Amino acid sequence: MRRLRKIKIVATLGPASSDYDTIRALFEAGADVFRLNMSHGEHADIEARHRIIRQIETDTGRPIGILADLQGPKLRVGVFADDEVELETGAGFRLDLDPAEGDARRVQLPHKEIFEALKPGATLLINDGKIRLKVVNCGADFAACEVMVGGTISNRKGVNVPDVILPLAALSDKDRRDLEFACQLGVDWLALSFVQRPADVEEARELAGGRAAIMAKIEKPSGVQQFEAILAASDGIMVARGDLGVELPVQNVPPIQKRLVRKCRAAAKPVIVATQMLESMIDSPVPTRAEVSDVAAAIYEGADAVMLSAESAAGSFPVEAVRTMDNVAIEVEHDPTYREVINASRGGDKQTVADAIVSAAREIAETTDIKAIVCFTQSGATALLVARERPLVPIVAMTSRTGTARRLCLSWGCHCVKTGEVGRFKEAVINAARAARADGFASAAEQIVVTAGVPFGQAGTTNILRVAPCEERLITATDPG
């Protein structure tokens, strides 16, 4: 199951993709990681999909990553006496804690934390930004607003507050229950919604207790403003462009996306570009040209992964959507301009021995006839550093830890191979050569670069590099270790 492209594909599972045959077809079409959306479905549904993924993993002999996406706090208005009303631009409209049914003058907003944070002049967005309110006066239990952009407002529509950092934790009571459930299942990544500050990530990490890697979703202006600190606290990032495009002017999102992707790459942390990538494929077997260009832009930027949401979870053409994304990625990565862009954007603060080793591995691989870089990794850190280099040749990440192999399924270019424990570097080189031959990366007559840390089994000790033949007889003859 060797992929013919470096960027990874995340596919969301849902009603349209909940049985073995469909999920297997999604994997064979190109999905590397499956997203379980904790906002939809009962725990029993989530558990059933998780079980199917692990069965496919066993049947195919390939590690598969699983990402559980936590819902986060949902801010919504209450209900209206007539289910919906029309708000006129320029009119007044009041939000308050009164649970009485709303009308054209007021409605309940059952979130006292919002009123505590609001100030006159703040903006409130309702129904994905279709209605825009400006706060004229506010108190501990109300906000008197002017309707800046009117329209139809109906029961329980979502509310966004882009101007202020709300005194709300990223984890609701439901999220805490879902987090524990997901960790007990054995997911590999937890995606955290509503991240406003690094403390949100730290709370999730403490609750996860090392059972899953933590991914921060950047979907609020405050998350963009504190991005460096959030990135430092996280294991990975998701650029969630849907909510980000509601709370910020839409023209701001593309440069933010490009900037965040580059910062993630410099930090050697995986980054997913998500939301509405092939939206029209929910109902159509082919995407629009603009959507294809959008996916291609994320690939040119050097993102680790691109994600399908409703396209694979609830659409009519889930397998076709994954296959389309796979085809776009293959075509882009074979474009000479892609390699020029990737090389020009190479950066990162390189100060350690491990940094030097992986940088040298890339340069050797790209200046000689090397077929792959094979790295032995326990925590996954070495593989992430190699992936940061975005080498031209494939990356084979070898690890004795199943969890590490699964988490690295999200990282650019990493072909993960589960291997046994090794005690000597020569043994590691032999295992690397076998894996490279077995998975079609090199023949016995060709060479690979092998990186590892000696002594083995200690995370963060990458300190050795060797150019090795793929024929075991030659390895044994030339390596006294």
pLDDT of residue 424: 85
* CATH class of segment(s) 84-160: mainly beta
Which pLDDT belongs to residue 472? Answer: 73
Residues 378-393 have a mean pLDDT of 94
Q: Where are the alpha helices (DSSP H) in 142-250?
A: 173-185, 198-208, 221-225, 227-233, 241-247
DSSP letter for 88, please: P
> Which single residue is written with the structure tokens 């474009």?
335
pLDDT tens readout for residues 237-258: 999 998 899 999 999 999 999 9
Residues 205/182, Cβ–Cβ less than 8 Å: no
Summarised one tens digit per residue, pLDDT across range 129-155 is 999 999 999 999 999 999 999 999 999
- The stretch 223-250 carries a mean pLDDT of 95
Looking at the structure, give the CATH architecture of the domain made up of residues 353-478.
3-Layer(aba) Sandwich (3.40)
Phi, psi of 470 (to 5 degrees): -95, 5
Query: Could you say which of 3.20.20.60, 3.90.1150.10, 3.10.105.10, 3.30.430.20 is the CATH number of the domain covering 8-72+170-335?
Result: 3.20.20.60
Q: What is the pTM of this model?
A: 0.93
Do 8-72+170-335 and 84-160 agree at the fold level?
no
What is the average pLDDT score of the chain?
Answer: 94
Q: What is the CA radius of gyration of the chain?
A: 24
Copy the structure tokens of residue 163: 């101007």
Angle at 361 (CA atoms; ends 357, 366), nearest 5 degrees: 155
Domain boundaries, the chain: 8-72+170-335, 84-160, 353-478
pLDDT band at 451 (very low <50, low <70, confident <90, very high): very high
Q: Which residues of 1-23 are buried (b: 16+ CB within 10 A; e: fewer)?
A: eebebbbbbbbbbbebbeeeebb
Q: Which residues are catalytic?
A: 35, 76, 217, 275
